[in-house]
Structure 1
Amino acid sequence: MRCHAPDHTGGAAVMPQAAVDPVLPPDITAQARDLGPLESPAIWLTAAGAAVAVLAVTIALGHHRRARRWGTGGAVVLFLLAAVTAVNSYVGYVRTPDDLGRLFERGSGAADAVGMLLDDGADEPDAPADPAATAQHHPAVTSSAQRVDVLSLPDPADAVPSGENYVILPPGYDDPANAGHRYPVVYLIHGYPYGGPRDWLTSGAAPDALRNLEADHVIAPMIVVSVDLTAGAPSKDWEGLDVPGGPQLETYLAKTVVAGVDHHYRTLADRRHRALGGMSGGGFAALNTGLHHLDEFATLVIALPYDDLNDSIGVLDGHLSTIAANTPRHYLPTMTFTAPISVLLAAGTGAPTDVATAHRIADALHHRGQEAVVHTEHGFNHTWHTARATLPYLLAFADQNFHSPTPTS
């Protein structure tokens, strides 16, 4: 259960509380770790078994040319289906038929039509009718329902031609009784490459995580924003960077997106009530951007962390000073902190490099006098399964900091 210390505005000084890894109810952690129907190993095992059976029959009927041709083709299709579903079972990118529908909807023609049939629209806002619109949302059928908006924030000045940011608003946001209530905000960044802001709604199951945490009174109502840092080119490994001669994604997030969310929604518009997080490449972007913008974010919540540009260094086109300024592994150990920060780093024990990286980042933060906690999920790897399983911990950690008396500004 959530236990919030009251805010203090006067009297005796309050001693800072050390950051801790949240303890969550078993039902919430079980739901976050559950496999979706399209992630079940039974799918690829069935497809592989069927492929073997078809191939065996084809061999037995090898003297029939037509049977051999059709049987071989069928076996190949089934083996490919087994391979694709096995990869998805491991990665956890497509959980449900709705997720599959949204994936098809990224295409055109027949693929888009199939996607529309599979997607029931749950947890998904309508696309903006007007490309120039700044915010589009479902009409609130009941004021107690969770709502998801698309906040369109293109920023041509920073070479960001699009910006379809998904805003998850808590139940009761539209209640007249809450008209004066303001909410803390968690910003989440998708992975790279081929990631996008919808991923935290589908693969990351953020709406479900929020509903479960709030229903069990583990967290207070908050706004979660899944940020679009694709710059209209999701195949590029941008890593949320200000790219020389390219999109200024760090600036776009820290200035344009934050200002846009604060303008359109009832937020607590200060660093103490903002958290920044992400998974994998989005986790790197959150770490790097958060450390560069201590005036904007007091909490970082990162899944599948890393602190080095590695293969994505190419987007900086050999600019050595820019590379150095965007490699936390190098600058963090000597960094000067103008404001305190609290960080949760989550990794799966099946990815020992992630665990080692999480501890290295935490140690570097500790040596600079900052709070950092490492959370591990047993047996999980560098996949969306881990991001989804750890998201409730990330959100609960952010909530702790939002309501902690620790001075963060």
Structure 2
Amino acid sequence: MSLIGWPLVCLLIAAAVAVLVATVWGWGRLGGRGLRFVIGRLALFGLCQLLVLASVLALINRQFAFYATWSELTGIGRGGDGPGVIQNRGPAGALTGAKVIKLKPEFSVGGDPAKDGSVESVDIQGARSGLRGRGYVYLPPQYFQPGAEQKRFPVVLALSGYPGAVRNLVTQLKVPQTASKEIKAGQIQPTIYVLMRPALAGGRDTECMDVPGGPQAATFFAQDLPEAISSQYRTSPSRTGWGVFGLSTGGYCSLKLAMRHSSVFAAAASISGYYGAIKDVTTGELYGGSQAVRDENDLFWRLRNLPPPPVAVLVTTSKVGEQNRAGTERFLSLVKPPMQASSITLDTGGHNFGTWNQVLPPVMRWMSQRLTP
């Protein structure tokens, strides 16, 4: 049963109502004295509270899709969706381990791909990292139009926040829908968008880094994913055609990926992101006890102590409503050439999809101006 479907919500609500009715009906029978009666009353009361809480959480999760599947919630059994078509890397002698497996389509942006573009559901399997991640690929209308069979397109990797599900990029942020509208309006050039979730290893928040002795998330995003996508789609062969943006944790990941892998990404945008390396219950030990590794993943430290990378970055914040304003201003003050920085500062805007939808079109336009096919 899906974590974001109505059946689960309805089942939990029905169970809560049933237990409440049973509690009212049977309360008199549990009114006696003695330990077993006390335990019975407490059990019914606790079960009612638990089911009501579960119903509320299920409704919230359905709205925001923090967890789309049981495997994302539990970190257990991250298997495939059944057989698919495996596309290997084409050129002779090239790496054949990076794969794109096409899954059953989940979303559509219109009836005609040549007019609206198309959203493909994919499972990307990494050769170097050994990781895999499910996501979506938006192909612009021009990808399907006659005469474009040899045309290559710039690519933008879009990362959700944590623990948000990757489908949020379609259902909440509406990346494919916005891209389609912006392309039709001539505001951005035809671009391929690869939509992914930053958490790959059983739902663990790895902050998009190669964890010493653990998941190699940076290798997946900076090497496996570009190789797999380029093997399946007509993408730009140069770093000048690749960019990355993300929300919150995905924003931090985007900046870090571009700053650490400027040979892969030419531009990055962080929407409501942060800038320092963190460690909490969602990440576990990421740095192997090494201060040097932690410093390398701290964007402030990198700007102060390492040569600035030749990338363009965009950061967003709000005067009221966001908690990253001070960090954003500090980050911008540390940027030096050849690195270039731009910013969007709203008067008000919280850490939510309403704010992020507001800045998405200008972020897309900024990115499009800095990428070449």
TM-score higher than 0.5: yes
User: What residue in structure 2 maps to residue 25 of structure 1?
Assistant: none
Q: Is residue 203 from structure 1 mapped to residue 157 from structure 2 by the alignment?
A: no
One of 297, 314, 325 as aligned partner of 2:296: 325
One of 68, 72, 84 as aligned partner of 1:103: 68
**Superposed counterparts of 1:155-194, under 5 Å:** 155=126, 157-160=128-131, 162-192=132-162, 194=163
Cα distance between partner residues in 2 of 1:131 and 1:288 = 32
The one-letter code sitting in structure 2 at the alignment partner of 1:293 is: H
Structure 1 pair 334–320 and aligned structure 2 pair: CA distance change class (3 A): closer
Cα distance between partner residues in 1 of 2:198 and 2:325 = 26
One of 360, 363, 372 as aligned partner of 1:394: 363
User: What residue in structure 2 maps to residue 377 of structure 1?
Assistant: 346
User: What residue in structure 2 maps to residue 357 of structure 1?
Assistant: 327
User: What residue in structure 2 maps to residue 19 of structure 1?
Assistant: none
Structure 1 pair 127–357 and aligned structure 2 pair: CA distance change class (3 A): same
Q: Is residue 272 from structure 1 mapped to residue 243 from structure 2 by the alignment?
A: no
Task: Note the alpha carbon deviations across 1:92-124, whole angstroms, 9 max, x for none.
Answer: x7559xx69x9368789xxxxxxxxxxxxxxxx
**Superposed counterparts of 1:220-239, under 5 Å:** 220-234=189-203, 236-239=204-207
Do 2:154 and 2:372's aligned partners in 1 also have CA atoms closer than 8 Å? no
User: What residue in structure 2 maps to residue 337 of structure 1?
Assistant: 308
Do 1:138 and 1:148's aligned partners in 2 also have CA atoms closer than 8 Å? no
The one-letter code sitting in structure 1 at the alignment partner of 2:304 is: P
Do 2:319 and 2:346's aligned partners in 1 also have CA atoms closer than 8 Å? yes
Shift of 1:155: 2.4
Cα distance between partner residues in 1 of 2:294 and 2:344 = 29
User: What residue in structure 2 maps to residue 130 of structure 1?
Assistant: 84
Cα distance between partner residues in 2 of 1:180 and 1:208 = 25
- Per the alignment, in what secondary structure is the counterpart of residue 395 of structure 1? helix
**Superposed counterparts of 1:36-47, under 5 Å:** none
Do 1:128 and 1:136's aligned partners in 2 also have CA atoms closer than 8 Å? no
Structure 1 pair 243–107 and aligned structure 2 pair: CA distance change class (3 A): closer
Task: Note the alpha carbon deviations across 1:16-64, whole angstroms, 9 max, x for none.
Answer: xxxxxxxxxxxxxxxxxxxxxx9xxxxxxxx9xxx9xxx9xxxxx99x9
Cα distance between partner residues in 2 of 1:389 and 1:221 = 21
Do 2:84 and 2:101's aligned partners in 1 also have CA atoms closer than 8 Å? no
Shift of 1:237: 1.6
Do 2:104 and 2:121's aligned partners in 1 also have CA atoms closer than 8 Å? no
Do 1:159 and 1:231's aligned partners in 2 also have CA atoms closer than 8 Å? no
The one-letter code sitting in structure 2 at the alignment partner of 1:390 is: V
Shift of 1:241: 0.5
Shift of 1:323: 1.0
Shift of 1:136: 1.6
Shift of 1:217: 2.1
Stretch deviating more after TM superposition (299-308 or 139-148): 139-148
Shift of 1:301: 0.9
User: What residue in structure 2 maps to residue 290 of structure 1?
Assistant: 258
User: Which 5+ residue runs of structure 1 have no aligned equivalent?
Assistant: 1-37, 39-46, 56-60, 109-125, 405-409
- Per the alignment, in what secondary structure is the counterpart of residue 353 of structure 1? coil
Task: Note the alpha carbon deviations across 1:261-312, whole angstroms, 9 max, x for none.
Answer: 1221111221211111111111111111110111111111111121111234
Do 1:333 and 1:368's aligned partners in 2 also have CA atoms closer than 8 Å? no
* Superposition CA RMSD, Å: 4.1
TM-score calculated relative to the size of structure 2: 0.72
Do 1:220 and 1:399's aligned partners in 2 also have CA atoms closer than 8 Å? yes
Q: Is residue 259 from structure 1 mapped to residue 232 from structure 2 by the alignment?
A: no
TM-score calculated relative to the size of structure 1: 0.66
- Larger strand fraction of residues: 2
Do 2:320 and 2:348's aligned partners in 1 also have CA atoms closer than 8 Å? yes
User: Which 5+ residue runs of structure 2 have no aligned equivalent?
Assistant: 5-12, 30-40, 74-79, 88-99
- Per the alignment, in what secondary structure is the counterpart of residue 326 of structure 2? helix
The one-letter code sitting in structure 1 at the alignment partner of 2:319 is: T
Cα distance between partner residues in 1 of 2:178 and 2:297 = 31
Cα distance between partner residues in 1 of 2:211 and 2:301 = 19
Q: Is residue 246 from structure 1 mapped to residue 217 from structure 2 by the alignment?
A: no
Same amino acid, percent of matched pairs: 22
Stretch deviating more after TM superposition (168-177 or 252-261): 168-177
Cα distance between partner residues in 2 of 1:297 and 1:107 = 28
